[in-house]
């Protein structure tokens, strides 16, 4: 007999007055079981990816570079991480960590995927950036959003929003760096950097194939930043 049918038959013998509470408990039980099943399937798909690509697998936050713990996405003091999958390896002499996580933030369940790149000699200032949507100026007007552009370059700031320490950002973002970001970043991703780590992420889950595309995009972008390319 299916488990759900067995539970339903048992409910029929519960006094009617208790049915609302019983159905509420049953709904929670079924939801939790569905979540566990989904997380198990997600882990299996990433384990298969790790095996196919010869990558290491971990579900421990401690396997990430220490620098990244300062990033709000991976900081356990900010987010309560409930499920974590990490694939790591080496590509073109760059250490990388592909992160898939489910977490609680202000009691809300959220998801994120990221590619963390680590290179010991890097020394980025702390910053985050992303492409502004085409209707950004209209959004500012309609919702009275105050946004301060800390880089004095109207062409660059019309397309990209940067956050960080103003003096450090302006010292780092020379013409070459600005041109690389203008040409190479994608609107679906968000970007961060600090010290020896460069991070590309988005606030949702994506397929294993899309994770590898993110990893390749991240590495090519970092190589451009390191190699005096534009």
Q: What is the pLDDT of residue 9?
A: 55
pLDDT the model gives residue 104: 86
The segments of the chain whose pLDDT lies below 70 read 1-31, 35, 135-148, 228-230
Q: What is the pTM of this model?
A: 0.82
For position 94, what pLDDT does the model report?
A: 94
pLDDT at 87 (0 to 100): 97
Residue 107: its pLDDT value, please? 81
By C-alpha distance, which of 84, 74, 1, 12 is closest to 46? Answer: 84
Strands (E), 42-187: 56-58, 80-91, 94-105, 108-118, 124-131, 160-164
């Amino acid at each position: 007999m299916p488990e759900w049918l067995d539970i339903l038959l048992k409910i029929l013998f519960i006094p009617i007055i208790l049915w609302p509470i019983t159905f509420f408990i049953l709904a929670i039980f079924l939801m939790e079981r569905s979540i566990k099943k989904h997380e198990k399937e997600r882990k299996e798909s990433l384990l298969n990816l790790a095996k196919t690509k010869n990558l290491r697998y971990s579900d421990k936050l401690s396997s990430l570079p220490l620098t990244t713990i300062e990033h709000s996405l991976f900081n356990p003091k900010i987010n309560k991480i409930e499920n974590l999958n990490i694939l790591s390896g080496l590509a073109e002499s760059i250490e990388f960590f592909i992160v898939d996580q489910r977490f609680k933030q202000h009691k809300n369940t959220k998801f994120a995927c990221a590619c963390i790149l680590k290179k010991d000699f890097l020394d980025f200032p702390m910053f985050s950036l992303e492409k502004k949507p085409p209707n950004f100026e209209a959004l500012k007007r309609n919702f009275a959003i105050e946004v301060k552009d800390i880089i004095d370059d109207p062409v660059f700031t019309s397309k990209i929003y940067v956050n960080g320490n103003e003096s450090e950002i302006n010292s780092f973002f020379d013409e070459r760096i600005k041109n690389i970001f203008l040409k190479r970043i994608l609107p679906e991703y968000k970007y961060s950097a600090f010290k020896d780590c460069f991070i590309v992420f988005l606030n949702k889950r994506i397929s294993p194939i899309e994770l590898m595309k993110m990893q390749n995009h991240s590495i090519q972008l970092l190589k451009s930043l390191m190699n005096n390319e534009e």
